Chains A and B, each alone.
Chain A
């Protein structure tokens, strides 16, 4: 039996590094392209070149003569919206990948810890019972609700000591509890119009987002991505379960707390900004894993990139599928996502 033992030398690493950098650059260009296309689409179509010119003008690199209305639409409305969509997609996909790895469950997703249910309860409390006033406080309410749900799950699953199954059960219980609370508030205190508004908001919308939102979500998701990447190897070590990770030297309890809190902050920020957008956090990690494999140093960046592109495309679809009307983004992600997911499942089955 002859086996060739390949020892990767530093010299072999350099091309791989170049490859990685090239892929990253290509992905960022792809995100830029879909964002550009997304900005062009709407009641007033704007060509890609105009979008590009507006952005470079605003950044002070160029000074093209431009239609001021075009410039205002691109800069003040559509660009921030598209970029928020990209960051939300990236954040949700990232949170989904972390959850699937930590809970060792292919059905795990960012909302498995009851965050969406908590956010809806918080939002409903604000809208229906009139605690506080205006859109800012609705987001605040959603964020507080989401975090309350997360803390509830953390307590119920006995902090960091409970295993994966216990955490999932606690999440299910929390979701049921907070959904029941939401329904209770809607049915007892609400009028029909308010209930409709809340429902629509829960299904997700990028309608109202502006630059301050972009600033917040980019900081949270950006820092989240960096922090998660620091944990890439630790997440690899969880492949064979908590005990195997511990025997490899992972501080399991601490890792669980840090990563769950990290995903909770990312998810709660996104949900409180744009509502509960489903499916991205479930499907994108599987798609990314199918392409780049299970190792997290590659998987996590891939999730962020694919998630960003997927969400921007879904946002485009939500505006063009039905003329003169925009669908809730959560509806689109599922409509676009399920067929796409079916293809992956089918191909996975054939591969094994």
Chain B
């Protein structure tokens, strides 16, 4: 069951940014969302997170239309990590992660042991426990993203949606972040630009172009020479890596 898109349409003015998208995310797996700039990845992720309402079609959570959920109820199970979320407030790492408990607390309820457990577990999982009292402004780009992931995990989500979380990170932090996300036991949908990273870490891939899904399936099935030429306009050789047994793309010079 998990999260499912059913013939989604979303427009800016008369332009159909998302034009009839349907798919279903496999529970507990990492689904990669690929596509050139402007193909509708970010818009689709926003629809899936319930941040925007589709003009047609539905997003289903466990068979129920997401528009029938209250905002707070969505946030209790779907966590969303934006592309560049930053703040000028002088927050500590722990304050940011605690924000993740917001949907689980009512106006008057105090901070519970359950909240504490979720926050500590999220910090532990993301390797940020040692930096819990560090100031947000003092963190590196990679640490900021890890903090966002920790905040999202503190929401105790069953679905995690990430919009190009590895942008602007150095390769070490890109790899460690993807390793972390692919090891999570929750349903995750991630927009990515690096095709090799997508091939290595995602269980399934969806490729978008101009608001459509043009291919979907396992990395082996999806990443073909023809698709790369037609969608991304690049020539490449694809072989199965002898090191990790996933497809590896050699772009032509």
Binding site for B on A (CB under 8 A): 1, 3, 5, 7-8, 13, 104, 106, 230, 233, 236-237, 239-241, 243-244, 246-251, 289, 293-295, 352
Contacts and interface: CB of A to CB of B under 8 A. Distances in A.
Contact of A294 (B80, B82, B91): B91
B111 A8 contact: yes
A241 B72 contact: no
B21 to A, nearest CB: 20
Interface stretch (B24-32, B97-105, B177-185, B244-252): B97-105
Contacts of A248: 75, 99-100, 102-103, 155
A236 B99 contact: yes
Q: Which of A230, A294, A352 has the most CB of B within 10 A?
A: A294
Question: Considering the complex of A and B, which 7 residue pairs feature the smallest CB-CB distances, nearest first?
Answer: A249-B75, A249-B103, A249-B72, A247-B80, A294-B89, A3-B129, A240-B85
Interface residues of B, number: 37
Given A1-B130, A249-B75, A233 B105 contact: yes
Nearest to A244: B85
A297 B236 CA distance: 56
Contact of B116 (A8, A241, A289): A8
B139 to A, nearest CB: 13
Contacts of A243: 51, 82, 85
B27 to A, nearest CB: 21
A134 to B, nearest CB: 43
Contact of A247 (B79, B130, B137): B79
A124 to B, nearest CB: 37
Contacts of B90: 289, 293-294
Q: Which of A3, A237, A243, A247 has the most CB of B within 10 A?
A: A247
B88 A104 contact: yes
9 contacts: A5-B124, A233-B107, A239-B89, A241-B82, A243-B51, A247-B49, A248-B103, A293-B90, A295-B95
Given A106-B88, A239-B96, A249-B74, 19 more contacts: A1-B130, A5-B129, A7-B113, A13-B110, A230-B107, A233-B105, A236-B102, A237-B102, A239-B89, A240-B82, A240-B86, A241-B82, A246-B51, A246-B71, A247-B82, A248-B99, A248-B102, A249-B75, A352-B137
A247 B91 CA distance: 19
A247 B75 contact: yes
Interface in B110-157: 110-111, 113, 116, 120, 124, 129-130, 137, 155
A7 B120 contact: yes
B172 interface: no
A189 B215 CA distance: 72
Interface of chain B, main secondary structure: mixed
Interface in B189-219: none
Contacts of B113: 7
Contact of A250 (B71, B95, B120, B137): B71
A288 to B, nearest CB: 12
A3 B129 CA distance: 7
B233 interface: no
Contacts, number: 76
A237 B72 CA distance: 12
A352 to B, nearest CB: 7
A248 B96 CA distance: 12
B188 interface: no
B102 A241 contact: no
B116 A239 contact: no
Nearest to A352: B137
A196 B121 CA distance: 65
A103 B130 CA distance: 32
A246 B124 CA distance: 26
A7 B86 CA distance: 27
A251 B99 contact: no
A249 B87 contact: no
A324 to B, nearest CB: 45
A238 to B, nearest CB: 9
B16 to A, nearest CB: 21
A244 B82 contact: yes
Nearest to A232: B107
A113 to B, nearest CB: 21
A214 B73 CA distance: 43
B125 to A, nearest CB: 13
Contacts of A5: 120, 124, 129
B72 to A, nearest CB: 4
B76 interface: yes
Contacts of B87: 104, 239-241
Contacts of B120: 5, 7
A230 B72 CA distance: 16
Interface string B38-74: 0000000000010100000000000000000001111
A233 B102 CA distance: 8
Nearest to B128: A3
B205 to A, nearest CB: 24
A244 B88 CA distance: 14
A247 B75 CA distance: 6
A250 B105 CA distance: 12
Contacts of A239: 87, 89, 91, 96, 99
B130 A3 contact: yes
A174 B71 CA distance: 33
Contacts of B103: 248-249
A5 B118 CA distance: 12
Q: Which of A104, A240, A289, A294 has the most CB of B within 10 A?
A: A240
